[in-house]
Amino acid sequence: MPNTIELGNITIQQIVEQQEPLFGIFEFLPDLAPEILEEHRSWLEPVFLDPKTQKFNLCIQSYLVRTPHHTILIDSCVGNHKHRPIRPMWHMYEGQLYEKNFKAAGVTFEEIDYVMCTHLHTDHVGWNTKLENGRWVPTFPNAKYVFAERELEYWTEKCAEDSELCPWMLDSVFPILDAKKAEIVKSDHWLNDLVQLIPSPGHTIDHFCVQVGRPGEDALITG
């Protein structure tokens, strides 16, 4: 059973795709001084920093949110069979854990009502689509995919400049637009009284968090 949080009549479950050492510490933090690393190594290792590879232990995950009204997936990880040459650990990745954990959560892809992408980076949009007969089609056929307006505009422009820099737009975002499954919103959008988007730009130009629940019994999913 995936990790679960209950907030009254709302259930939040973690759906893990990968949990392993992924990024070298100096790749992730290029300005980190070695002496600062040594000062903090005792608490970083082994939970946060793998002592053998000197890579950060990262979790690539979605959150499955079930309310009385909807079943919502927040972020969709890396995905399978995706062309990612600048990220070798994800290039043409083929994993089974995501689908296994989805099944363990007791929900099918067809039952998802909304997929909310907090931002449009490669590790947050990958399972938006799956490869079917040589075409990228929506993985969650009955869902609306929620994208922030300025975020989508920004990455669409970047992709027009050089699609090799953002191949995930070609296989995981544009096919959703083509299938007319996208719901393009402002980053302060309210889905209903239990689910709202909170603008949190910084990591990307129009990143949003998702707040679920009611005051005093709520959670903020940062993405």
CB-based contact 139:129 (threshold 8 Å): yes
pLDDT at position 2, please? 61
* pLDDT (tens digit per residue) in 137-149: 999 999 999 999 9
pLDDT at position 145, please? 99
* pLDDT (tens digit per residue) in 75-88: 999 999 999 999 99
- Tens of each residue's pLDDT in the chain, 223 residues: 468 999 999 999 999 999 999 999 999 899 999 999 999 999 999 999 999 999 999 999 999 999 999 999 999 999 999 999 999 999 999 999 999 999 999 999 999 999 999 999 999 999 999 999 999 999 999 999 999 999 999 999 999 999 888 999 999 999 999 999 999 999 999 999 999 999 999 999 999 999 999 988 999 999 9
Residue with tokens 């709202």: 196
HSE toward the beta carbon, residue 43, CA cutoff 13 A: 3
pLDDT at position 215, please? 87
Burial degree of 5 (CB within 10 A; 0-12, 13-18, 19+): middle
In the CATH scheme, what is the homologous superfamily, with its name and number, of domain 4-18+59-221?
A: Ribonuclease Z/Hydroxyacylglutathione hydrolase-like (3.60.15.10)
Q: First vs last Cα of the chain: how many Å apart?
A: 21
Find the farthest-apart pair of alpha carbons in the chain and give their distance in angstroms, rounded. Answer: 53
Indicate the helix (H) or strand (E) that contains 148: strand 144-148
CB atoms within 10 A of CB 119: 23
| Global pTM value | 0.94
Which residue, among 134, 207, 204, 129, has the nearest Cα to 174 in the 3D structure? 129
pLDDT at position 163, please? 87
Helix (H, G, I), strand (E, B) or coil at 178: helix
Q: What ranges in 50-144 are assigned the alpha helix state H?
A: 97-104
* C-alpha 89 chain-centroid distance: 16
